[in-house]
Structure 1
Amino acid sequence: MSQQAVLLEKEWTQEEWLSLPEGPPFYELEEGKLLLIPSPCREHQQITGLLFARLHDYCRQSGAGTVVMEVDVALPNGRGYTPDLAFSAREREGQLLAADGKVHGAPDLVVEVLSPSTR
């Protein structure tokens, strides 16, 4: 995890995190703390975009499932993250991809591209 600023010294709930307006800025939720996610650099975005394009093409051709970029993932333990990429297998799409546009539960695959600040 990168060095992230902790915002507002209060306990945040997953419900509060999910109700935040769509970013930027983007936030993650860990142990009740709201964390500001730093903006990615150009190289990070290029790598993420290339990986998304390849996975998206594969999913479209094979029907394996759905891959999305930078979607909020609400985990059962109350934490919330916004991974660079998240894949949900076709068999689990209905369980994970909610009407609110968020992923509820652990995706089948999460990709997080490391930046210099996270190495």
Structure 2
Amino acid sequence: IFYLSQILYYVSLAVTKASILFLLLRIFPGDRVRLVIWGTQAFNLMLCLACVFAEIFACQPIDMAWHFMSPGYHGHCIDQLNLALSHGAINVALDVWMLILPVTQIWRLNMKWRKKFGITTMFCMGLL
């Protein structure tokens, strides 16, 4: 069950981020920002695929993932902790990047700085 839940975790995280990025595509019409958002979408997809394949093929043979405690069963697995830590670090960086994207566009709007500051503060609450 843990094996499948790890794979579904990576997919659900990527789908959630893709949903937010598609929302940003609808909100911000500028060509430059749309190109950056599509690039972020591509990175998100590649990260998801890399993590899913790394999780699926982490053990050789593959069924070693659920037989690792069986006596007499031979095989090897990569260090799952390193995979989780690297994914976590990249994921946090992607979260911060996705927070910066709309904030840069908000500061370009023709509004009073207090309103811009309030909207930026609201977006930054997502860090909590």
TM bin, normalised by shorter chain, reads under 0.3
Q: Which has the larger radius of gyration?
A: 2
In terms of fraction of residues, the more helix-rich structure is 2
Q: What TM-score results when the alignment is normalised by the length of structure 1?
A: 0.27
